[in-house]
Amino acid sequence: MVSRRSLKPPRPLVDAVFHDIGFSPNGARHWVRDGWFVEVPDWDITDPTTTVVVNGHELQMVLPEVVLIGRLVEFDQTGHTGHATQALLMLSVLDDIDEGALARLAAQERVEDFLAFFRALAASPTRPIINDAFLRTKRDEILQERRRVAAERRAQREGGG
């Protein structure tokens, strides 16, 4: 882990390590290499991580299941389509995902509906044109369905059923 004990990571050290492993800076705390995008935040990471070794440097990486669900949560809560696109790309390329962890995290964050939608979209052999309008429309439909189900449940409770 680059940061420790709630201290900001030493940026010169971060710069040296990421340069050594072939990454190029892309903003204040972001790095890119061969299609990989890495963020080195200024805070301690509390999410579950795994350790990988790159060119002799140990790096802690947030588990992909956590990142994926985080993207779905952000899309759910903010509607930012970039998060939706990232989630779809992750579902399209990750082949060693922990299905149990993914399901638990989706349930914990209450985004099972978004996960199901993006899973189906990623698995579809014929995808529709995926643009901001498509993603916003699908988000609206999912949120509308949530409201409908919640209203039905309220009505059943109030009706004594």
Contact predicate 54/61, CB 8 Å: no
| Per-residue pLDDT reduced to its tens digit, 44-57 | 778 888 888 877 77
Q: How far, in Å, CA of 20 to CA of 30, rounded?
A: 15
Contact predicate 22/60, CB 8 Å: no
| Per-residue pLDDT reduced to its tens digit, 91-107 | 998 888 999 999 999 99
Half-sphere exposure of 69 (CA within 13 A, CB side): 22
Residues in the chain predicted with pLDDT less than 70, given as ranges, are: 1-9, 43, 160-161
Q: Residue 44: left if φ>0, alpha if ψ -120 to 50, beta else—which one? A: beta
Residue with tokens 């901001």: 132
